[in-house]
Chain A
Amino acid sequence: MVLHVFDFLLRWAHFIAALIWIGHNYASVVQRPNYRPLAREELVNNEGATFMSLLNREHGTFRYASVVAWASGVLMLWQRGWLMDALTLNGYFAVIGTGFWIGTLMLGNLWLVLWPNQKKVLGFVPATVDERIRCARITHLSSRTNTMLSIPLLFFMAASSHGAALFN
């Protein structure tokens, strides 16, 4: 019983964290569907401690939501004893395993590609104007890569619990 409750709570946390993370990503697609280069005057330049702290909170929230989403997913697999089968794409576990690997790619993309560049774009770390504009192109591509990867990820997540017929 305790394990079932734990599993359920993990799934709940997984949904909420994934919605916060990917919802933020989709909001950016809706706000700016087509890429256009960032103009110099659009760059945030020391807009004050309050504004910078809000910006930091916004980006921190979705960045750490990605960690919660990933960790709760891994814990669910581990708790059920499915982790190794999922990681090695063994049998039907290949369905959720594919979701795991796409999610891991997205987490790496967010923390190792998007965030280091975003820190410069937003002015959290010093960079020249040209460098910040160059980084904005990278953050756009990195963010849209995750948008694109979220489509198969959600497919495999849903299919692992509700799509057995698709794989027979």
Chain B
Amino acid sequence: MKTLFDTAGGTIATGLLLTLVLYLMVRQLVAGG
């Protein structure tokens, strides 16, 4: 089964997307919301 991790681009893009999602979540957490 092909996955996003089969290419370096897919791996990096997934990492950047996860960073964005986690950043937004942690920012909410820090703000107490």
Contacts and interface: CB of A to CB of B under 8 A. Distances in A.
Interface of A: 29, 33-35, 89, 91-92, 94-95, 98, 140-141, 144-145, 147-152, 155-156, 166-167
A150 B16 CA distance: 10
Interface residues of B, number: 21
A150 B27 CA distance: 19
A95 B22 CA distance: 10
A46 B31 CA distance: 57
Contacts of B12: 147-148, 151
A151 B29 contact: no
Contacts of A155: 19, 23
A101 B15 CA distance: 15
Interface of chain B, main secondary structure: helix
Contacts of A147: 5, 11-12, 15
Interface of chain A, main secondary structure: helix
B26 A156 contact: yes
10 contacts: A33-B9, A34-B6, A34-B8, A91-B30, A94-B26, A140-B5, A155-B19, A156-B22, A166-B23, A167-B27
Given A148-B14, A148-B18, A151-B19, 14 more contacts: A29-B11, A34-B6, A35-B6, A94-B29, A144-B5, A144-B11, A147-B11, A147-B15, A151-B18, A152-B23, A155-B19, A156-B22, A167-B26, A167-B31
Nearest to A150: B15
Contacts of A140: 5
Interface of B: 3, 5-9, 11-12, 14-16, 18-19, 22-23, 26-27, 29-32
A149 B15 contact: yes
B29 A29 contact: no
